[in-house]
Chain A
Amino acid sequence: MTCDETRLLLHAYLDDELDAAQSASLLAHLGACNACAARYADHAQLRTALAQPALYRRAPDALRARWRATAPVAAPASTTARPRRGPLAFALAAGFAGALLLTSPAWIGSLRAPGTADDALVAQAVSGHLRSLQPQHLMDVASTDRHTVKPWFEGRLDFSPEVKDLAGQGFPLAGGRLDVVGGRTVAALVYRRHLHVINVFQWPGEAAADPQPYRQHGYTAIEWSGGGMRYVAVSDLNEAELRQFVREYREGAPLR
């Protein structure tokens, strides 16, 4: 591989878009060429720097609120809103629909083709995940320290949830909260992967044998059980990464 080729392909390599043969050839060149190795180091540094969350522009809450009003409204009203700013009637409809979605988690399940009771529970977990992404809904206890998160649940649940530290595996703990799945109060742990949120719901019980990943609207839910507890992990991560998370979680040392 020449230096000119390397200048282009090292980006595809950084982005994990290069096939194995070309990757090997690129790495061989980087090992032999100081100039290209230095260029690669610069771009790797640049990539890391661009991942700083401060560069990500999150939507202002006021704008979000227009599209995620939560109060149910009975009748549409006439509007004087500027069209470009979004018709009020539409906002009201959004509010009503939003309220339906927010107040009846089971209702999402009913949109699907009739499935098993287990699927319904997992669907509720997915809607719990969606709900958790609303402003101010993600966490009751925000902490990256499992020794803070685990005790927080004491007295709030009739079981002691398992909280694992997976920061070393690239899934830092962000916090926890109480949620409701299938009419019972469950623990929801919040982990992060880059900018993605992973919710892990857990409660006493057993999952069906060999549960299949559940997909809905770009979200994936993976269910498993162990130690008398039932777990559902939900995220918009791609399925491979969510599987990796589940594997790390199952293998991670529990906090006793």
Chain B
Amino acid sequence: MSADSFAAAPTDAVTMARFEAVVLPWFDAAYNLARWLVRNDADAQDVVQESLLRALRYFGSFRGGDARVWLLAIVRNTCYTLHARHAPESQRESLDDEVLALPDEGPSPEARTLLAVDIGSLQQALERLPPPLREVIVLRELEECSYKEIAAVTGQKIGTVMSRLARARERLRADLSPPSTEAGRHDVR
């Protein structure tokens, strides 16, 4: 939608107030998801801006329900349309079972060492996850969405959400384990 069409058909004040009360409380959630998906501030700002414009445009068709899920689904789609390079489709290999499969057994459990979970390591490990895995982790751990909500945002079945979460966490666990036992795992992007 262009600036002109906004000027020609300004959103009325009641709709705007509703939009502000219903959708804008999830501003941070929208940004957080966009930022983790596109991995840089400038692109994330573009995505949120475009997502909110789309949300406003479609707001008339929003029939109640969970506004956060509704907005996050728009943000996710916007990320993948504006930034095709971040799209799961552009990372076809990442959907291969081989890449998404649960990693083999790591170190023996008796020799378990604590994971490196400082902020820097976690951030890098998250950014290294392929987008289909990163989005479920961000929605689950940072947004605290339920499986049902994640399924609604990503358009997947709940079973898919569960198995992707398991894969994502196994990947993070492997990535954050002490390097001596995990050599060679870091080259997967």
Query: Which residues on the A side are within 8 Å of B112 (C-beta)?
Result: 38, 41-42
Q: Which A residues lie at the B interface, using CB under 8 A?
A: 7-8, 11-12, 15, 17, 34-35, 37-39, 41-43, 45-52, 54-60, 63-64, 66-68, 76, 78-79, 81, 83-90, 93-94, 96-98, 100-101, 108, 111, 130, 133, 194-195, 216-219, 236
Query: Which residues on the B side are within 8 Å of A133 (C-beta)?
Result: 25
Q: A7-B102, A59-B30, A87-B7 are in contact. Are A94 and B119 (CB under 8 A)?
A: no
Closest chain-B Cβ to A120's Cβ sits at a distance in Å of: 16
Check B6 against A7 for contact (C-beta < 8 Å). Answer: no
Check A34 against B165 for contact (C-beta < 8 Å). Answer: no
Query: Which residues on the B side are within 8 Å of A66 (C-beta)?
Result: 49
B95 within 8 A of partner (CB)? no
Check B119 against A52 for contact (C-beta < 8 Å). Answer: yes
Select which of A35, A195, A219 is within 8 A of B109 by beta carbon: A35
Select which of B7, B66, B108, B142 is within 8 A of A89 by beta carbon: B7
Q: Contact mask B3-39 → A, CB, 8 Å, 1/0?
A: 1001100110110111111101101101110011000
Check B109 against A17 for contact (C-beta < 8 Å). Answer: no
Query: Which residues on the A side are within 8 Å of B109 (C-beta)?
Result: 34-35, 37-39
Check A43 against B169 for contact (C-beta < 8 Å). Answer: yes
Select which of A42, A54, A60, A85 is within 8 A of B173 by beta carbon: A42
Distance of A90 Cα from B133 Cα, bound (Å)? 36
Select which of A42, A76, A218 is within 8 A of B22 by beta carbon: A218
Check B147 against A15 for contact (C-beta < 8 Å). Answer: yes
Query: Which residues on the B side are within 8 Å of A86 (C-beta)?
Result: 49, 52-53
